[in-house]
Amino acid sequence: MISIESSIILLKDVSKKYSTDNVVFSGIDLEIEKGEFVFLTGPSGAGKSTMLRILFCAERPTSGEVWVDGVTLSSLSNAQVPYLRRKIGVIFQDFKLLSNYTIFDNVALSLEVIGLGKKQAEQRVMQMLEGVGLAGKTSHYPLQLSGGEQQRVAIARAVVNRPSIILADEPTGNLDLQRTEEVIMLMEELNARGATIIFATHDDRLFENTHRRVIRLFNGRIRI
């Protein structure tokens, strides 16, 4: 049974098509509990990123209804979208770092938008960057970093404001084994502190040995 109370994310009969011959998925029903850590997998082009984009309102579904943290997304006005996004940390597949901002400023932006002062922000940003092993590169610009380093900046920016939902879109795509481990550990830790996590990846090895739920997208449907 689907219940709005215990679930933090709820999709009912959701479909997304860009045109009549470009249907990403249709008839998706999905429920994710508060505090859950789920993997979202499926082949390239299955619609993982699209589904995440719908959850943080970067895209509207063609039909169906989506609830996030008790909010009906279809009733959300453009002006209300930012307030929803502050509860959601998104690690973008293509990082979406600001190339004319330093690493520090990129991460600090997440705190700035919620109105945090520079002093408070500074400490948290530095802690966060230390956590992902980039303390020495705070004044660099994104293009001066390697792909893996950029990805870790993207992770730091997504989680620095302690969001209750984390949408990670291939957050380990550019990382070596050790860094991948570290990122998974970081996610586990955030999850242990109460964050709900959706981890999109097409790398089966990441969830082979876990007890976590795995949501598989295939041919526009969910396969359990």
Ligand X SMILES: Nc1ncnc2c1ncn2[C@@H]1O[C@H](COP(=O)(O)OP(=O)(O)OP(=O)(O)O)[C@@H](O)[C@H]1O
Q: Can you give the binding site for Mg ion, defined by CB under 5 A?
A: 48-49, 93
Nearest distance, CB of residue 127 and ligand X, angstroms:
30
Nearest distance, CB of residue 55 and another protein, angstroms:
12
Residue among 41, 140, 52 at smallest CA distance from 89:
52
What's the rounded Cα separation, in Å, for the pair 204 and 214? 10
Q: Is 22 in the site for ligand X (CB under 6 A)?
A: yes
What's the rounded Cα separation, in Å, for the pair 98 and 103? 9
What's the rounded Cα separation, in Å, for the pair 130 and 48? 30
Nearest distance, CB of residue 116 and ligand X, angstroms:
32
Burial of 167 (0-12, 13-18, 19+ CB in 10 A): buried
Nearest distance, CB of residue 28 and Mg ion, angstroms:
16
DSSP H or E segment with residue 147: helix 147-159
What's the rounded Cα separation, in Å, for the pair 223 and 219? 9
Q: Is 45 in the site for ligand X (CB under 6 A)?
A: yes
What's the rounded Cα separation, in Å, for the pair 46 and 108? 33
Q: Is 90 in the site for ligand X (CB under 6 A)?
A: no
Nearest distance, CB of residue 212 and Mg ion, angstroms:
19
Map residues 96-135 to x or -, x wherever contact with another protein holds by CB under 8 A.
Answer: xxx-x--------xx-xxxx-xx-----------------
Contact set for another protein, span 61-80 (CB under 8 A) = 78-79
Please, how many CA atoms are within 13 Å of residue 189, restricted to the half-sphere of its CB? 9
User: Nearer Cβ to another protein, position 79 or 177?
Assistant: 79
Q: Is 86 in the site for another protein (CB under 8 A)?
A: yes
Q: Is 17 in the site for ligand X (CB under 6 A)?
A: no
The amino acid occupying position 65 is E
Residues in contact with another protein by CB under 8 A are 56-60, 78-79, 81-83, 85-86, 88, 90, 92, 96-98, 100, 109-110, 112-115, 117-118, 157, 161
